[in-house]
Amino acid sequence: MFKSIHSREAKIFCKNLIAARKDADLTQFEVAMRLGQPQSYISKIESGERRLDVIEFWRIYKILGKSFDFFFHFDEKPEGFEKKSKTLKAASGKRKKKFSKS
């Protein structure tokens, strides 16, 4: 079964939350303190490990001071959002050097 927490939109939403927090010049700890929660609460939300309900989002939204649309703009990737490549290639192509034991 597909879980929305692993969707592209969920990842972008988390990146948008992080960007909004950093734009507000707040740490995870500072946001958590304003909510009466431990720092790990914000960490889990930003990493996508924990979902938000509507009321929780509304409280965070008020603290971060961004427009509502800022968090739900899924058509464009937020700054710094890059899909990681599954394979890494050496800059010089295939390596053919063999090391000899001396």
Express each pLDDT in 13-53 by its tens digit: 999 999 999 999 999 999 999 999 999 999 999 999 999 99
Q: Quote the pLDDT of residue 75.
A: 75
pLDDT score of 90 more than 70: no
Within a domain: residue 81? no
pLDDT score of 92 more than 70: no
Q: What is the mean pLDDT of the chain?
A: 80
Q: What is the DSSP string of the chain?
A: ---GGGSHHHHHHHHHHHHHHHHTT--HHHHHHHHT--HHHHHHHHTTSS---HHHHHHHHHHHT--HHHHT--SSPPTT--PPPSS---TTSS----PPP-
Query: Structural domain of residue 48, as residue ranges?
Result: 4-71
Within a domain: residue 18? yes
Q: What is the mean pLDDT of residues 51-65?
A: 95
Residue 73: pLDDT band by 50, 70, 90 thresholds?
confident
Domain total of the chain: 1
Within a domain: residue 50? yes
Within a domain: residue 8? yes
Q: Among residues 60, 57, 68, which one has the least CA distance to residue 28?
A: 60
Within a domain: residue 25? yes
Q: Quote the pLDDT of residue 5.
A: 67
Indicate which CATH number applies to the domain containing 43.
Answer: 1.10.260.40
